[in-house]
Chain A
Amino acid sequence: MYFLVSRLASAAVVIFGVLVLVFMLIHLVPGDPVEVMLGESARPADREALRASLGLDRPLWSQFGQYLGNVLRFDLGISLHSQRPIADILLERIPATVELALAALLVAVLIAFPLGVMAAVRKDSGWDHGAMAVSLLGVSLPNFLMGPLLILLFAVWLGWFPVSGREGLGSLVLPAITLGSAMAAILSRMLRATLLEVLGEDYIRTARAKGLGPRVVIWRHALRNALLPVITLLGLQLGALLAGAVITEAVFSWPGIGLLIIEAIQGRDYPVVQACVLLISLSYVLVNTLTDLAYGWFDPRVRTGQAS
């Protein structure tokens, strides 16, 4: 119970801090944000209207109070570009990003598990070195390079998948591989390290001593215990996944939250930028808090603070 409350309390503090930072973003616009957003040719009346609707004519603390109140009522303001409520725009864009993130997660797990387990089981063999070299390559290949390379190979030369857009399942393949491969690289290293640690435990020696086959030892005894830290990592990596989605969506014109941020930055639609950053960070905090709580649920040592 104490664990639950303390985790939720610290999550609340973090969320408050995130709100402050996101709120401050619009005040970092060089010069007058209203002038930057509307351009120099805007009519004075329009400027004053925008200034008033953003609350920029009032003291900072009162602006923040209003911002906080609005966010709590899911009122994220109006997009300058489309003149529609930002919350509606976000709702339209969320499914595409969730779809991409889940597909990327699947790709990452499908690549990382065989690679990591193989590397750990055949430690120091050619397989191990090969798997780790592949993963080092994956870490060093950023997704804005991986994306165009995949497009070149599978869309331009082979013509198997569309170059960009979101139409049908085929268009999901290349973005999911782009986004998932970076995560797979990190995940397979983590899995290898954890599995090697677990394989040195006494209960593995016991399992082997009582004559269990290597397959049973690995899959039933070792992997199950190695899974918990890996799940935590998955939660943490989801953040990297969401941030990577911004670039991946830009590469493939995938119409999700990430592409929305880029479009909003280019259109100087700063309230939309704020809303997207807020949405992504809050989902990250939420997932991390849930992972923490789940971890405490599965492993009582975490709850009571014995494992530090």
Chain B
Amino acid sequence: MSGVAGIDAGIRRNGLGRVFGLWLPLAVVAGWALVALIGPLLPIAPDHIELSRILAPPGPGGLLGADDLGRSLAERVLAGAQTSFVVALWVVLVSALLGTAVGTFSAYLGGRWDLVVVRIIDVFLAFPGILLAIALAGILGPGIENVVIALSVVGWVGYARLARAQVLSLKHREHVQAAVALGAGTGRIVFRHLLPLLMAPLIVEASFGIAGIVIAEAGLSFLGLGVQPPEASWGSMIRDGARYLLVAPHMVLVPGVALMLVVLSVNLLGDRLRDRLDVRNRK
């Protein structure tokens, strides 16, 4: 997944830029993670139906309003935060570990094995964007596990390509050659001498990856291929709301704003991280 080129350093130098470029996004992401982690303990009932509040607009006392079944949108947005966070966490973990392992060993061992891996990567890249995930999620059936599987199958390729490119350029460095000369085994070289140097670019890739996964999960749920109702996802909330645009636009706006805030914040933090870790944009 491609990163977003940095908003110029110029904005960031002043105090206001730090607020919008760092502290606000940090607060949003921290809030998102917090809600997801302590979610089960929160006194919310996202599936609770209150017929008198059907399509109730946002307002004082009414908080963020209610959806077409009279469920509280505020509580459903919190539940949706949980869904997107859990999916993002799992997909990043699975695809980063798998992709890095494949890419690293492919580049380090080289030869025929590497040739095969490159071909496999090419084949996966031939399915544009979210298409393969849509087909997989559609065929595996809805459910949060299948969303994780579908997005990981698509996601590992980016890490594999990145790790492979990095290792190809790293493996001829002196410190690696020295380790080889001293008789270190493949495992030791990979874990002690290559992976630590791979960390920075991989972390940056993963941070932008999270934004992509949040959008992808919501997209799959929007298409009805994500979590099963009545479970809440920002994507399925937008889908439900799209049918009531005329009478209750808040049904789209509330989850939409939540989604945008998180994605924008993750992207901004990714920019920061890239500058901090001094990783050049590799696209």
Which A residues have a C-beta under 8 Å from some C-beta of B? Answer: 10, 13-15, 17-18, 20-21, 25-26, 28-30, 124, 128-129, 132-133, 136-137, 139-142, 144-145, 148-149, 151-152, 156, 186, 189, 192-193, 238-244, 246-247, 250-251, 261-262, 265-266, 270, 273, 277, 280-281, 284-285
Q: Are the C-beta atoms of A151 and B245 separated by less than 8 Å?
A: yes
Contacts of A281 in B (CB 8 A): 126-128, 131
Show the binding face of B for A, using Cβ within 8 Å: 2, 4-5, 7-8, 10-11, 119-120, 122-123, 126-132, 134-136, 138-141, 211, 215, 218-219, 222-225, 235, 238-239, 241-242, 245-246, 249, 252, 256, 259-260, 263-264, 267-268, 281
Residues of A close to B268: CB separation below 8 A: 136
Interface of chain A: mostly helix, strand, loop or mixed:
helix
Q: Which of B138, B224, B252 is most buried by chain A, counting CB atoms within 10 A of its CB?
A: B138
Question: Which among A139, A142, A277 has the highest number of chain B CB atoms within 10 Å?
Answer: A142
Q: How far is the CA of A37 from the CA of B4 in the complex (A)?
A: 42
A30 to B138, CA, bound (A): 11
Instruction: Specify the chain A residue showing the minimal Cβ separation from B141.
Output: A30
Decide if B123 touches A141 in the complex (CB within 8 Å).
no
- Decide: A280 and B131 in contact? CB cutoff 8 A: yes
Interface centre among B4, B135, B238 (most CB of A within 10 A): B135
Residues of A within 8 A of B141 (CB): 30
Q: Which among A151, A243, A266 is the interface contact of B128 at CB below 8 angstroms?
A: A243
Known: A17-B120, A124-B10, A285-B126. A142 touches B219 (CB 8 A): yes
Q: Contact partner of A247 among B132, B211, B222, CB < 8 A?
A: B222
A214 to chain B, nearest CB (A): 21
Query: Among B5, B122, B222, B249, which residue has its beta carbon within 8 angstroms of that of A13?
Result: B122
Given contacts A144-B239, A240-B128, A251-B242, 17 further A-B contacts (CB under 8 A): A14-B126, A21-B123, A26-B139, A29-B139, A29-B140, A133-B7, A136-B268, A140-B264, A140-B267, A148-B252, A152-B245, A242-B128, A247-B222, A250-B223, A261-B135, A284-B126, A284-B128
Cα of A281 to Cα of B154 in the assembled complex, Å: 14
Interface contact A242-B139, CB-CB below 8 Å: no
Q: Which of B123, B235, B238 has the most CB of A within 10 A?
A: B123
Across the interface, do A240 and B129 meet the contact criterion of CB distance under 8 Å?
yes
Taking CB atoms, residues of chain B closer than 8 Å to A144 are 218-219, 222-223, 235, 238-239
How far, in whole Å, are A174 and B121 apart by their CA atoms in the complex? 35
Given A124-B8, A128-B8, also A145-B128 (CB < 8 A):
no
**Which of chain B's residues have a CB closer than 8 A to the CB of A246?**
130-131, 134, 223
Minimal Cβ-Cβ distance residue in A for B10: A124
Residues of A within 8 A of B225 (CB): 265
CB distance from A154 to the nearest CB of B (A): 12
Q: Is the interface of B mostly helix, strand, loop or mixed?
A: helix
Residues of A within 8 A of B242 (CB): 148, 151, 251
Question: Do B252 and A129 touch (CB < 8 A)?
Answer: no
Residues of the B chain whose Cβ atoms lie less than 8 Å from the Cβ of A137? 264
Let me know if A141 and B260 touch, CB within 8 A: yes
Q: Closest CB-CB distance, B236 to chain A, in whole Å?
A: 11
Q: CA separation between A28 and B132, bound complex, in Å?
A: 13
CB distance from A159 to the nearest CB of B (A): 11
Separation in Å of the A11 CB from the closest CB of chain B?
9
CA separation between A124 and B222, bound complex, in Å?
A: 38
Once bound together, how far apart are the Cα atoms of A192 and B126, in whole Å?
27
Q: Are A140 and B131 in contact (CB under 8 A)?
A: no
* Known contacts A129-B11, A140-B267: A247-B122 contact under CB 8 Å: no
Q: Which of A25, A151, A189, A266 contacts B139 (CB 8 A)?
A: A25
CA gap between A9 and B85 in the complex, in Å = 42
Nearest residue in B to A33 (C-beta to C-beta)?
A: B139
Contact A30 B140 (CB under 8 A): yes
Tell me whether A270 and B139 are in contact in the complex, defined as CB-CB below 8 angstroms, given that A124-B10, A152-B252 are known contacts: yes
Closest to B146 in A: A30
Known: A193-B5, A239-B129. A28 touches B136 (CB 8 A): yes
* A144 smallest CB distance to B (angstroms): 4
Whole-angstrom distance between the alpha carbons of A15 and B246 in the complex?
45
- Quick one: which of A124, A152, A273 contacts B135, CB cutoff 8 A? A273
Alpha-carbon separation in the docked complex, A17 to B127 (Å): 11
Among B128, B235, B260, point to the contact of A239 (Cβ < 8 A): B128
- Collect the chain B residues with CB atoms within 8 Å of residue A13's CB: 119, 122
